[in-house]
Chain A
């Protein structure tokens, strides 16, 4: 079922790419192959794979190499979760996005503290651990990168303390 959904996704992606690239043409062309060909080729690959997944349901076409065990090791994709921590995953995902959004306006130190609290909770830490750990990381990394290594980081609302730029 999941693979059928993936197939539908691929078909849509292929269609969207083909639709978006229809207008890509050079005004004056010096070469036989323009900017449209390669995206269209990829769109066709997506469509083919999508159709295959939709029709077959992505049944596994082959079993792993039994003799070496190399294939099992090579397909280091994710095994099924023993207990579903979907809430924790969602919490972390949102934290990362909010972190990105607040990185510049709030400044590195505060944004990092704010990000650390939910992430810490998701990984089994405490609220206090997240706050203190996040603040420690924020300050420590700020001084390491901004002051010692000269990688400029945003100071945001704490610019009066940290020497704003």
Chain B
């Protein structure tokens, strides 16, 4: 009951004219950013974050804008998957498998509308999940002390590295690099300047925005150059624009199942939209592919990954809001945005800033509705934007990136650092080092060190406090499982394949 009260309050915040307008702007920008190949939610949020700050938007308005961008990206990614066969962002990779064949056979309109509907249901189910579970988790997490937090952050790193595919070691390396970058600057406990090389510009530490824009936007541009995507060209014949009753009924259970699955995957730190959509697709394929239509343009093959990637994007807000430990690259960036406003997410946020938290959650419902309206009737206008050539688009992205970086401190140093980090990011990505754990490390670095030091202050240097409570032991066990189970599972299934 109490929750409903808070949610009502939240709608009061979300429906204020400025906030409503920001949600609409964010939804529009998000759809466009998500749609453009090479730009994903991290870029979208990273580009708008400094601008929101420079425009002096209040914290909840800025957060509503950024959230709408994030959700909008998950909606928009499908457009280029379907029409170009080039995924607009990582979460939409699976959508191309059935979406593009549908478009080629003249059913692009159906693919676009059913996937927009699936995205809407996925987001809404997951937002309802936030309303149900986030307050419970926040109440439970209030009991966490510094040792528990330290263990929790190690668990988050274990999740993000364990799920990172073939080279977990490089994901650990990336996380360590992020943590190392976060130690640059003044150590607030002792007044010692670390790794600044006596440079004034580094004494406050490296600007979060510079790191994100350098490592993601600039390096992404260099990567784009290296492998120019070859596509079969934009499909212009859209056909029937709305799905019919039969298609609606056919995808009903698929969408619901994928939404719940996506939500659960999203709540786990580290997993995220890419894995959620791949899992949802393979589950539906196994359950439903009786006539072998998956991969050739099945509506269920389009709706499953879209429902799941939206649900997981929304679900990934839970660990960030309730524990203060973001579970994905994008929520890590959002947490950095909150830090600009001196807001530290965590269990206390629900009691101290209910208007902010519940305004954000309510605005997710609002943005979903706006996005559904934007994405079905207006999709043709967006599709035309895909015709803007890269040679015009990329200088535009670079210019907006530079404006974002410059708007924070107005120094040449930050702009140069952005360029250097972009080149470093490019080299690291070529070496197979993923960027998401790096950014998570950078965001969590200070918190992690502070909690470790605080925990050890309690016991005067005795390390045993780090595994001294049932919660810490549970978290360490879960972290070990996250690191050890994926390789074991791979070995096991490999043996099964080779035995068969």
Chain A residues packing against B (C-beta within 8 Å): 2-3, 6, 10, 13, 17, 20-21, 24-27, 29, 31-35, 37-39, 42, 45-46, 49, 52-53, 58, 60-79, 81-82, 84-85, 88-89, 92-93, 96-97, 99-101, 103-104, 108, 112, 115-116, 119-125, 129-130, 133-134, 137-138, 141, 145, 149-154
Contact among A3, A88, A152 for B225, CB-based, below 8 A: A88
A/B interface sample: 8 pairs, CB < 8 A: A31-B457, A38-B183, A39-B194, A64-B166, A66-B493, A71-B490, A76-B434, A124-B228
Closest 6 CB pairs of A and B: A125-B391, A100-B415, A32-B461, A26-B190, A75-B165, A116-B395
B4 on the A face (CB < 8 A) = no
Inter-chain contacts of A6 with B (CB < 8 A):
431, 433
Whether B166 contacts A78 by the Cβ 8 Å rule is no
Instruction: Report yes or no: A89 in contact with B194, Cβ–Cβ below 8 A.
Output: no
Q: Which residues of A contact B191 (CB under 8 A)?
A: 26-27
A99 cross-chain contacts in B, Cβ below 8 A: 398, 402, 415, 419
Contact with A along B135-176 (1 / 0, CB 8 A): 000000000000000000000000000011111111011001
Chain B residues near A82 (CB-CB < 8 A): 227
**Secondary structure of the B side of the interface?**
helix
Any A CB within 8 A of the CB of B248? no
Q: CB-defined interface of B82-102 with A at 8 Å, one 1/0 digit per residue? A: 000000001001100000000
Residues from chain A with Cβ under 8 Å of B169 in the complex: 49, 52-53, 58, 61
Docked CA distance A46–B402 (Å): 32
CB of A133, distance to nearest CB on chain B (Å): 5
Query: In the complex, how many angstroms separate the beta carbon of A9 from the nearest chain B beta carbon?
Result: 9
Residues from chain A with a CB closer than 8 A to the CB of B168 are 61-62
* Cβ contacts under 8 Å, A62 to chain B: 166, 168, 486-487, 490-491
- A52 CB to nearest B CB, Å: 7
Known A-B contacts A64-B490, A120-B395; the reply to A73 vs B426 at CB < 8 A is no
A46 to B172 alpha-carbon distance, docked (Å): 10
Kindly list chain B residues whose C-beta atoms are within 8 Å of the C-beta of A151: 51, 54-55, 403, 407
B94 contacts across to A, CB distance below 8 A: 73
Whether the pair B403, A115 counts as a contact (CB closer than 8 A) is no
Q: Are A149 and B55 in contact (CB under 8 A)?
A: yes
The binding surface of chain A is classed by DSSP as: helix
A137 engages B395 (CB within 8 Å): yes
A60 to B163, CA, bound (A): 15
The answer to whether B390 touches A124 (Cβ under 8 A) is yes
Tell me whether A78 and B429 are in contact in the complex, defined as CB-CB below 8 angstroms, given that A63-B490, A122-B225 are known contacts. Answer: yes
Does B105 interact with chain A (Cβ within 8 Å)?
A: no
Interface status of B195 (Cβ within 8 A of chain A): yes
In the complex, chain B residues whose CB is within 8 Å of the CB of A10: 173
Contacts of A75 in B (CB 8 A): 164-167, 434
Quote the shortest CB–CB distance from B257 to chain A (angstroms). 15
* Minimum distance in angstroms from A144 CB to a CB of chain B: 9
B167–A125 contact, CB under 8 A?
A: no
Taking a contact as CB atoms closer than 8 A, the residue among A67, A119, A141 that contacts B493 in the complex is A67
A25 contacts B192, C-beta separation under 8 Å = yes
Known: A137-B395, A151-B51. A76 touches B90 (CB 8 A): yes
Kindly state the separation between the CA atoms of A29 and B192 in the bound complex, as whole angstroms. Answer: 11
Residues of B contacting A3 with CB < 8 Å?
Answer: 431-432
Residues 435-487 (chain B) with a chain A CB within 8 angstroms: 449, 452-453, 456-457, 460-461, 486-487
Of residues B90, B166, B497, which shows the largest number of chain A Cβ atoms within 10 Å of its Cβ? B166
Residues in chain A near residue B434, CB distance under 8 A: 75-77
Q: Given the complex, which residues of B lie within 8 Å of A68, measured CB to CB? A: 278-279, 282
Whole-angstrom distance from the CB of B11 to the nearest CB of chain A?
A: 28
Which A residues are CB-close (under 8 A) to B190? Answer: 25-27, 29, 34-35
Does chain A have a CB within 8 A of B12?
no
Give every chain A residue within 8 A of B131 (Cβ-Cβ): none
Stretch at the interface among B61-69, B200-208, B215-223, B369-377: B215-223
Q: Are A33 and B456 in contact (CB under 8 A)?
A: yes
- Whether B183 contacts A39 by the Cβ 8 Å rule is yes
- Are A74's CB and B167's CB within 8 A? no
Q: Please, how many angstroms separate the alpha-carbon atoms of A84 and B158 in the complex?
A: 35
What residues of chain A lie closer than 8 Å to B173, measured between beta carbons? 10, 46, 49
State the CA gap A85–B419 with chains docked (Å): 19
Contact of B406 with A141 in the complex, beta carbons under 8 Å: no
> Closest residue to B416 on the A side, CB-wise?
A100
Question: With the chains together, A104 CA to B167 CA distance in Å?
Answer: 42
B395 touches A26 (CB 8 A): no
The reply on B59 being an interface residue by CB < 8 A is no
Of A29, A32, A85, A137, which contacts B399 at CB under 8 A? A137
Given contacts A2-B431, A62-B487, A70-B275, contact A93 B391 (CB under 8 A): no
* Per-residue contact bits, chain B 380-423, to A (CB 8 Å; 1 contact, 0 not): 00000000011110111011101100110010100110111011
B274 contacts chain A at the CB level, 8 A cutoff: yes
* Contact A115/B395 with A62-B490, A77-B429, A123-B390 known, Cβ cut-off 8 Å: yes
Known: A93-B222, A123-B394. 19 other contacts (CB 8 A): A26-B192, A34-B190, A35-B190, A65-B493, A66-B490, A70-B274, A70-B282, A75-B164, A75-B167, A96-B218, A97-B416, A97-B423, A100-B415, A100-B419, A119-B391, A119-B394, A120-B392, A134-B395, A151-B403
A35-B189, A45-B176, A49-B172 as given contacts; A133 in contact with B278, CB under 8 Å: no
B329 to chain A, nearest CB (A): 11
B21 interface residue per 8 A CB criterion: no
